[in-house]
Chain A
Amino acid sequence: MSSPIQFDPVRLPADAEALRREVRDFLSDEVAAGTFDPDASPMSDGHDVEFSRRVGAKGWIGMTWPKEYGGQERSFLERYVVTEEFRAVSAPVRAHFTADRQSGPVLLKYAPEEIKMDILPRITRGECCFCIGMSEPNSGSDLFAAKAKAEKADTDWRLNGTKIWTTNAQNADYMIGLFRTSAPTEDNRRHGLSQFLIDMTWPGIDVNPIVSMAGGSEFNEVVFTDCKVPADHVLGEIDGAWKQATSELAYERSGPERFLETFYVLVELVRAVGDNPDTRSAEGIGRLVAQLHTLRRMSVSVNGMLQAGKEPVLEGSIVKDLGTLWQQALPSKARDLAAFSGSDAGNRVAFDELLRHALVIAPKLTIQGGTTEVLRGIIARGLGLR
């Protein structure tokens, strides 16, 4: 290992606090107007196009991007504040969040100018929803086993194959998908994959919902049959998509959404045990809050590294590994800690319903977007073990 693991105590800039107040005011107005109910929205699909447009109008989508593409050129730490405030109240961000976090930055880096000028401003206005086409029926964690093909036909490309577990594909305007353009080489099995920008209205795309054990159908199977893609929709290097993935990962892995997905359970647990809990509940809540606080400080620190132009892949993976395990364990721990708090005060109504939901969705939290096992492999590589 080259140097000790460091997470410097990054402080949020002073103007971020003014921004935080503005975001809180906006969100409480939205709650008051009935857009969403923090006690019910975890159970909804979180997709609200009108809400996303109002968020876009505030300048809070793509806020770190250049102004020429509709961005605000604000810092990663300011984006962090916006993201965490939305997550803390379970605001319905699904219609814009994937594009804001991942797809937009990929387009910024790899798309041709006309496409950037066309799509990025629409993303920032909250008018453009993205999904990500990575997993396939026979390749999940093993991304480089992808078989869905892109073949050259004249100047265009033709897509054939199936993507699966594609979150929000049913609502997305675009997908950024990974397709095989060549066979892997003997010395590099990661070779041969390319990224494509796909308009979901094109012919040859079927989106089939998959019902999850929690009841909703947020994820889908997406089948491509001779889907025609213009040549300028290739993102980055043909056959070299594996090189493009690394920098994305640090952005994708370190955000507050990686530990706040079941945060509502903790809030309602505190309400359920009341203002004078017994020692057991107090200790349990204290430990959970200490763990949450630590995750947040780690996540802020990683965003400080991003702001400084670094690529904290190891640090980002650590935040996601610890964060996803924490938010997964939270419902069970809350269940234990609330076991002896009575329901007579009426302060458990929201808790019980939210807990049931959180317990049921918990298994996915350490699978989606990179499993615990994959993350630990990446951390091990960062430690020099691979």
Chain B
Amino acid sequence: MTETDNIIIDATARIFQELGDPQTLNNAPDDAWREPLWAALEESGLTLAWVPDDLGGAGADISDGFDILQTAGRFAVAVPLAETLLAGWALSKANLQVPQGAMSLALSSRANPLRLTDGKLAGRAEAVPFASGVDHFVALAETPDGAAVIQIDAAACNIETAMGIGGDPQGNVRFDGAAPAALAPAPAGIANETLMLMGAAARATQMAGALQGILELAVDYAGERVAFGRPIAKFQAVQHNLAQLAGETAAAVAAAGSAADSIHHADNFNEAVFFEVAAAKTRAGEAAGEGAAIAHQVHGAIGFTDEHILHRFTRRLWAWRDDFGSESEWAVGLGALVAANGADQLWPMVASR
């Protein structure tokens, strides 16, 4: 791995190389790797990069957090790093101290919001990433005094976990009867939609990283694997497949990078941020599907085995494109926005920055 001029990227890459290498994790007989990897990420402040110092975090920039996520994506991150970053961000927006441990956002549906009455929660959240394996959930709840950001101990919830398509635990969380460990009024501009935008931008960024990862894997493999007397990288059909994979990777990197940059520079989650994030989640999600298919084709049968690490990337790409809204859902929202603004506003929207 080449050194960059970004210390956060280098620090993240170093931790994953030493403690979260996909091949090592794939060979491991059990989950013993999990604790040292998480401890190293926590110690270096990466898990709480989006939380200011005075609330218990590392106080890094928004763009730094996205750099962490893209780098982690290159290693097919198998711990709730993005989830904890996002949950910490939500807590800090409400000025809440962050607790020790891993966290995940547990968003309820708009039609069926989580409610807090007399100190007790009622409601559920579905398809929560790392529903088992985190210590706390962060959610938005309706209270008699308005919306609140809440933190709940995972132990107080009823969790039904299943394995998600990505190979990480995912589950439905029932909050009924639980009492929040902490809560504060949701500040203006922090709503389910905002958390969805942050989550979608995070997943787009992870997908960009994972695509960089599978491009590297596929290029290396094609150079090593010999068939018909020469490395398959020398066959034009394979070269063109890899060129397409490079294109999809580039598109995801550019789209996710642009969305992260727009969030970094925006004063609030306005229409321009929605446009950027919706486009990024849509395009990166498309790239995930196309790119994973090409990487598998290049790898042939070995890429379909459990022993090869390719699935650690491709299965997560398929999971991440679903999380926080699929490309179909975001595209409908983006298309509706474009249509509502009208044909003559299309170019000004596209060329707005």
Contact = CB atoms under 8 A, between A and B. Distances in A.
Interface in B306-353: 327-328, 330-336, 338-340, 342-344, 346-347, 350-351, 353
Interface stretch (B20-28, B116-124, B155-163, B216-224): B216-224
Interface stretch (A127-135, A136-144, A172-180, A265-273): A265-273
A159 interface: no
Nearest to B281: A290
B274 to A, nearest CB: 12
B260 interface: yes
Interface stretch (A47-55, A198-206, A294-302): A294-302
B212 A5 contact: yes
Interface in A363-386: 373, 375-377, 379-380, 382-386
Interface string A268-284: 10110111110101111
B278 A286 contact: yes
Given A384-B219, A385-B219, A379 B353 contact: no
B219 A1 contact: yes
B283 A290 contact: yes
Given A267-B346, A293-B350, A380-B242, A286 B333 contact: yes
A296 B351 contact: yes
Contact of A270 (B2, B333, B346, B353): B346
A292 B353 CA distance: 14
Given A9-B257, A11-B353, A386 B239 contact: yes
A6 interface: yes
Interface residues of A, number: 62
A15 to B, nearest CB: 14
Nearest to A282: B335
Contacts of B223: 384-385
Contacts of B339: 270, 273-277, 281-282, 285
A292 to B, nearest CB: 6
Nearest to A6: B253
Contacts of B255: 290, 293-294, 297
Given A271-B343, A286-B330, A318-B247, A7 B239 contact: no
B184 interface: no
B55 to A, nearest CB: 28
Contact of A290 (B220, B250, B334): B334
A331 B335 CA distance: 17
B286 interface: yes
Contacts of B332: 279, 282-283, 286
B257 A8 contact: yes
Contacts of B330: 286, 290
Interface string A162-196: 00000000000000000000000000000000000
Contact of B282 (A270, A290, A380): A290
Contact of B338 (A12, A289, A382): A289
B21 to A, nearest CB: 17
A307 interface: no
A308 to B, nearest CB: 14
A20 interface: yes
Count class of interface residues, chain B: 35 or more
Given A5-B246, A287-B282, A298 B347 contact: no
Nearest to B238: A385
How would you classify the secondary structure of chain B's contact residues: helix, strand, loop or mixed? helix
Interface in B232-273: 233-234, 236, 238-240, 242-244, 246-247, 249-251, 253-255, 257-258, 260-261, 265
Nearest to A384: B219
Given A279-B332, A383-B219, A88 B250 contact: no
A377 B254 CA distance: 22
A309 interface: no
A288 to B, nearest CB: 8
Q: Among the interface residues A85, A290, A380, which one has the most CB atoms of the partner chain B within 10 A?
A: A290
A277 B336 contact: yes
Nearest to B333: A286
A155 interface: no
A270 B253 contact: no
Nearest to A292: B350
B247 A4 contact: no
Contacts of B136: none
Given A267-B346, A274-B339, A289-B350, A318 B250 contact: yes
Contacts of A314: 246
Contacts of B336: 277, 282, 286
A276 B304 CA distance: 44
A321 B240 CA distance: 11
Contact of B243 (A273, A297, A376): A376
Interface of B: 2, 74, 212, 215-216, 219-220, 222-223, 233-234, 236, 238-240, 242-244, 246-247, 249-251, 253-255, 257-258, 260-261, 265, 275-276, 278-280, 282-283, 286, 327-328, 330-336, 338-340, 342-344, 346-347, 350-351, 353
10 contacts: A3-B2, A5-B249, A270-B346, A282-B336, A284-B331, A285-B331, A286-B334, A289-B346, A289-B350, A294-B280
Given A271-B343, A321-B243, A376-B243, 10 more contacts: A9-B258, A9-B260, A89-B347, A289-B279, A293-B275, A293-B283, A297-B254, A375-B243, A382-B246, A386-B239
